[in-house]
Amino acid sequence: MREVQLVWDAHPEQPTVFGGLTSVLESMEVLSHLEIAEDGVRQIIAPEFLPGKSFEDLEDLSFLKVEEYFEANGTMVVWNSHPLVSMASKVDNIHILPPYGLANNEVKLTIRGLPQTVAAFVKLCRMSLPPKHIRVQTVRQPESFLKELLSSRQYDCFHLASKHGLYHGKEGVTLQFLADILGIARSTFQEHLKAAENAILAQTSLDLLEEA
């Protein structure tokens, strides 16, 4: 699974697709999604208005329609049809992770999903709404990741070495000690462990290249 954070400049003095927001809002946090459709998303948002501005000023934004305003806690229900939101709603197998939104003249959005679909969404963003920063992170459960990457024998050797502290310099933990636990020759244990380490390093290197 892949997780990506995208950051766009929303400074009010620069002509961006988010400039309208920063002319009304100091910040905006999207708390949840109530409905997702191809033409937009119904959201609960928590806005902080600029001095002299109110929720009524949001109606001037073509992509944001205020449906309900809860004055008691300052939240509101809106229909958001911003190009970025519409684009994300049309891509399968990705999930946008609330809370996200506008702060410090930046719009930040975190998505998670299958590597190929996340990559496709990022490519669309780069073509139509280029972000100023993209941060990619591979999300894995360590045990399941290792079991998928390694053979069963490689996993057993690497797991045993980790469990007994080989990589933390624990006294008395040697390859011979670990091989004896599994009942195999030291050379065989070393061969499986080296193969496991190489596979993990190779995959880590690929992940780093993707993030660069």
Q: What is the pLDDT of residue 86?
A: 82
d(CA 67, CA 56) in angstroms, rounded, equals 11
Residue 207 has pLDDT above 70, yes or no: no
111: enclosing H helix or E strand? strand 106-113
Q: What is the pLDDT of residue 155?
A: 93
pTM over 0.95: no
d(CA 115, CA 138) in angstroms, rounded, equals 8
**Tens digits of residue pLDDT in 135-154:** 887 666 667 778 878 999 99
Q: What is the pLDDT of residue 115?
A: 78
Average pLDDT over residues 94-108: 90
Nearest CA-CA partner of 149 in 114, 196, 80: 196
Three-state SS letters, 148-174: HHCCHHHHHHHHHHHHCCHHHCCCCCC
Most confident of 9-23, 49-63, 135-149: 49-63
Class of domain 142-211: mainly alpha
Locate the domains of the chain by residue range. 2-138, 142-211
d(CA 154, CA 191) in angstroms, rounded, equals 9
Q: What mean pLDDT is reported for the chain?
A: 88
Residue 27: pLDDT band with limits 50, 70, 90: very high
What number of CA atoms fall less than 13 Å from residue 141's CA on the CB side?
4
Q: What is the pLDDT of residue 162?
A: 94
Two structure tokens written together for 132 = 């100023």
